[in-house]
Structure 1
Amino acid sequence: MAAISRLLRSTTSIPYLAGKSFSSAVASQAPSYNTPFLHPKPQFPRKDPRDRNVQWIFLGCPGVGKGTYASRLCKLLGVPHIATGDLVREELASSGPLSAQLSDIVNQGQLVSDEIIISLLSKRLAAGEAKGESGFILDGFPRTINQAEILDGVTDIDLAVNLKIREDVLLEKCLGRRICSECGKNFNVASINIKGENGSPGIMMAPLLPPAQCMSKLVTRADDTEEVVKERLRIYYDMSEPVEEFYRSQGKLLEFELPGGIPESWPKLLQALNLDDYESRQSAAA
């Protein structure tokens, strides 16, 4: 409870956490994009995303690509990307009081407790407030209905983007993840090429390889073993349905099934979010 109180104190004072933005209308009027080859027609007026006061969250299984797509959108929209997974890894790499406890939890494939996540997020939001950040995209939070309810009492989330992908593809992606031990950046060595069968479309994902200077420094995350990944997925499926329903009942859930790698998925995701025209204008102005 002390950690929850710290979150409430640190976030209720942040100006951008109050009030609805234009992206609330996006969520309430947008359909679910769960067909890989669907080309959705925008059903709401276009508006410059810089005026939206973006307050979004990304949901989805571990390894689905939340960080990849959330970080790309953050660069496009000029808002901070807050990944609770990164917050946990930063704490693991530190000599702080939570480091040993977190190491045991992560290596067993278990979810970090709400109190720990909320404490880390509280510290990050306070740091963002001090730097004058405006808006955010949360990645990896909330994972439980308890977290969703706590967050709902603190800020008015506009949109919950739920990324989905086939489980066999997801397992390959997770086992292919690598981190550069020097620069800390994430890469993926998996080359996925699954042929379509029984009416289901095939799916291709090229590896996300590092530059030459990082190639010899790649390491596998301790929690990216098949056994641990499957346990993480089992836990996620058990806990995700109430969270999805929480945002679905508020008209804020956008479900998006990834049709392939970044080249195939990114333009369709922008279209689903009604941002394809904005990216084109940004590129033209560059």
Structure 2
Amino acid sequence: MAALTRLSKPSSSSAFSSMAAYVSRSFASAMASEPTAPSPFSPPPPPFALKPNLPRRDPNDRDVQWVFLGCPGVGKGTYASRLCNLLGVPHIATGDLVREELASSGPLSRQLSEIVNQGKLVSDEIIISLLSKRLEAGEANGESGFILDGFPRTIKQAEILVEVIDIDMVLNLKLREDVLLEKCLGRRICGQCGKNFNVASINVKGEDGRPGMSMAPLLPPPDCMSKLITRSDDTEEVVKERFRVYYEKSQPVEEFYRSRGKLLEFDLPGGIPESWPKLLQVLNLDDHEDKRYAAA
């Protein structure tokens, strides 16, 4: 797969323009054809005019276009951001887009707060609107390629995405659920700098044919230690609800891409020190020693 090893390609923004316009238009059409309950949120008009018969670019002439899947807390953001630094492409995380909107005190903030605090999935309508706005900003800045983290989460989103973007590879990160729960409950954010840390020290013994696993905590520097806060949705009840919703709504997306030969499954063997080198090897990105540590 050539896209896995090509690290520098010409910039192209046409895919971003096409996607932003298409997802807005497609979702508006879907909403018009399906009876729905009244919503206080109305998506903005498409930010771009859709170009008819826009040709898709050859993978050799653009940066990688990847999607990251995985249960909440598995580490999609951690590994996606590291790979983005390595490959020089933007990391577009819908979770970050939602949190930015929550912090903005904008018209969606209260509605999103209720959804997130209950562990529910944010509606396609809202996610697609936020993503379209992010893609518009990226096009204006001349971005090329991407790693999508948190999108698509539903079959409807995947169907919209496949109409406008040639996804090269879908990486499905996997981790046993008991470890995932400990990780989620150990997440902390520095209230000052906004960086993410984890105070959980995980040491699970192997049993029933499953290997043991150890993960050291990702502790903050001394300046951040006294400023750590817990996300309001990182309670055991909410985390387990997020798992349930993921298995019900998002796991079918795995099969969607598996049936198209796009899915690459990666079982995390442990924390970052154990998993990062093996992930680079799986992606054929370990051919130069400096690449192993470029994004560390």
**TM-score, length-scaled by structure 2:** 0.80
Alpha-carbon deviation of 1:279? 5.2
Alpha-carbon deviation of 1:19? 2.9
The whole-number CA distance in structure 2 between the counterparts of 1:91 and 1:281 is: 34
Identity, in percent, stands at: 77
Which residue in the other structure is 1:70 paired with?
Answer: 80
The whole-number CA distance in structure 2 between the counterparts of 1:214 and 1:183 is: 8
Match of 1:277, SS? coil
The whole-number CA distance in structure 2 between the counterparts of 1:157 and 1:139 is: 13
Match of 1:241, SS? helix
Aligned: 1:114 with 2:137: no
Aligned: 1:254 with 2:277: no
The whole-number CA distance in structure 1 between the counterparts of 2:261 and 2:202 is: 34
1:135-146 matches, within 5 Å, as 135-146=145-156
Alpha-carbon deviation of 1:249? 1.2
CA contact (8 A) 2:62 2:144 kept: no
Which residue in the other structure is 2:242 paired with?
Answer: 232
- Note the alpha carbon deviations across 1:85-138, whole angstroms, 9 max, x for none: 000000000121100000000001100000100000000000000000111001
Alpha-carbon deviation of 1:7? 8.8
- Note the alpha carbon deviations across 1:162-194, whole angstroms, 9 max, x for none: 000000000000000001111111111101011
Given candidates 73, 85, 98, the residue that maps to 2:108 is 98
Letter of the structure 1 residue corresponding to residue 258 of structure 2: R
CA contact (8 A) 2:90 2:145 kept: yes
Which residue in the other structure is 1:55 paired with?
Answer: 65
Aligned: 1:174 with 2:184: yes
The whole-number CA distance in structure 2 between the counterparts of 1:276 and 1:11 is: 41
Given candidates 107, 129, 138, the residue that maps to 2:139 is 129
CA contact (8 A) 1:191 1:207 kept: yes
- Note the alpha carbon deviations across 1:207-238, whole angstroms, 9 max, x for none: 11111111111000000000000000001001
Which residue in the other structure is 1:18 paired with?
Answer: 56
Instruction: Point out the more displaced range, 205-214 or 99-108.
Output: 205-214
- Note the alpha carbon deviations across 1:224-267, whole angstroms, 9 max, x for none: 00000000000100112320111111111000010000000011
- Note the alpha carbon deviations across 1:9-54, whole angstroms, 9 max, x for none: 64967xxx933525xxxxxxxxxxxxxxxxxxxxxxxxxxxx7620
CA contact (8 A) 1:64 1:163 kept: yes
Q: Which runs of 5+ in 2 are unaligned?
A: 1-23, 29-43
What is the Cα-based RMSD across aligned positions, in Å?
2.3
Structure showing greater relative contact order (alpha-carbon pairs closer than 8 Å, 6 or more residues apart) = 1
Alpha-carbon deviation of 1:2? 5.8
Which residue in the other structure is 2:159 paired with?
Answer: 149
The whole-number CA distance in structure 2 between the counterparts of 1:202 and 1:82 is: 33
Which residue in the other structure is 1:4 paired with?
Answer: 27
Match of 2:273, SS? helix
CA contact (8 A) 2:25 2:46 kept: no
Alpha-carbon deviation of 1:8? 6.7
Alpha-carbon deviation of 1:280? 3.5
Letter of the structure 1 residue corresponding to residue 57 of structure 2: G
Aligned: 1:192 with 2:202: yes
Aligned: 1:268 with 2:274: no
